[in-house]
Amino acid sequence: MTKTNSGSMLSQFTSLRALLLAVALFSTSFVFGQGAGTIGLGIKAGDPTGLSAKFYRKNTDIEVVVGRPYYFSGRYHSEAYFRKRFYKNDKYKYYSYSTYEASNPVALQVHFLKSKATKSAKELKWYLGLGPQLRAHKIEYHYYDEYRRWYSDSYTNIDLGVDGVLGLEYTFSDLPLSIFADVNLFLEVVDNVNLYLQGGVGVRYNLK
């Protein structure tokens, strides 16, 4: 006898990915509605790794990143971490842990940024800002009872918090390209209060 609800959970996780994409599109639409200037589209490698869009506005730039978090890949935490979480849940009080599986995670960042040109070159700018970050992935546990009957159970883990970002961006004067690098401090407030150091590098093509 095997109990599982992974089908419904998979459907929920797929819906969550669609929701993240919808939020990203909404953010883009909002920026356009506010009268965006130059728009930069490109990729970012780091945490997370994915697509990056930056909207250069008169007072506050807005960056939207949708991608895969590195630390949240399923192997960032050890087997012992998931075993501990299993036994801390009263739902599994009368069961024994066997193993776990983790889906590919997704992440969404929206940063509101202020920038300032460096003294050495106007093409090189410092920027700093704040904004929300949302991360999610699906965890599936495999476990058994005292009669060695096996079960599977899964849930979608959601982390929500605030980013503080500091970065450096160089925009080529003779090419519509920008390269950038940043360091990000992620304060998770839902579902576990924690602090993570992140960062990344990337390139964007600037549309006038």
Residue with the larger pLDDT of the pair 207 and 15: 207
Per-residue model confidence (pLDDT) at position 6: 46
| Distance (Å, whole) CA 112 – CA 60 | 6
**For residue 23, pLDDT beyond 50:** yes
- Count CA within 13 A, CB hemisphere, residue 21: 6
- Provide the β-strand partners of residue 85: none
Domain ranges of the chain: 6-207
Indicate yes or no: pTM above 0.85. Answer: no
- Token pair listed for 68: 């895969």
Give the SS3 label for residue 130. strand
d(CA 73, CA 64): 21
Average confidence (pLDDT) over 37-59: 93
Average pLDDT over residues 124-139: 95
Per DSSP, helices labelled H in the chain are 6-33, 79-88
**Which class does domain 6-207 fall in?**
mainly beta
Please tell me the distance from the alpha carbon of residue 186 to that of residue 71, in angstroms, as a whole number: 12
Residues 6 or more apart whose Cβ sits within 8 Å of residue 11: none
